[in-house]
Amino acid sequence: MSPLQDYLLLSSLLFSVGLAGVLIRRNAILVLIGIELMLNAANLNFIAFWRFGPNPSALTGIMFALFSISVAAAEAAVGLAIILAAYRHSKTTDLDQMNSLKG
């Protein structure tokens, strides 16, 4: 196996761990953290393809990863703010108990 395949396998494993966390955790904050793990797996893919791609002296992979990290940081801030607002409303972060659309 080439080293690119190793990194892609690792990144798909990270993505699956994040997906499992999103699907099975009850705490809303940990679900958001699972989404961050999936974004990290995507960033690892960007860097791996940049490093082992045909033209690594172009900086496109690094730039894509940097912008992706910035978007992920903005998403984390807004997501945690939404979770705080929902907690203030329903007094819980348990997703199995947040089952009412009407409040």
Partner 1 sequence: MIFAVLTVAGMAAAMGLRNAIHCVLALTVGFAGVAALYLQLGAQFVGLTQIMVYVGAVAILAVFAIMMTHSPEPVKQPAFSSQWFVGSIVAASVFAVLAWEIRSSAAFTQGLPPQPYVTVQRIGDALMHHFVLPLEIMGLLLTAALIGAVVIAMGHEEEMK
Tell me which residues in 44-83 interact with partner 1 (CB under 8 A): 44, 47-48, 50-54, 56-57, 59, 61-63, 65-67, 69-78, 80-83
Establish if 8 lies at the interface with partner 1 (CB under 8 A).
Answer: yes
Establish if 95 lies at the interface with partner 1 (CB under 8 A).
Answer: yes
Residue 99 or 102 having the CB closest to partner 1: 99
Is residue 40 within a helix (H) or strand (E), and if so which, with residue range? helix 28-52
Site for partner 1 in 9-38 (CB under 8 A): 9-10, 12-21, 23-27, 29-30, 32-34, 36-37
* Of the candidates 99, 98, 76, 94, the residue with the CA atom closest to the CA atom of residue 25: 94
**Binder to partner 1 among 2, 99, 101, 102 (CB under 8 A)?**
2
- Residues 6 or more apart whose CB falls under 8 angstroms from that of 57 comprise none
In eight-state DSSP terms, residue 33 is H
CB 68: neighbour CB atoms within 10 A?
A: 15
Backbone angles phi, psi at 92, to 5 degrees: -155, 155
Residue 85 or 101 having the CB closest to partner 1: 85
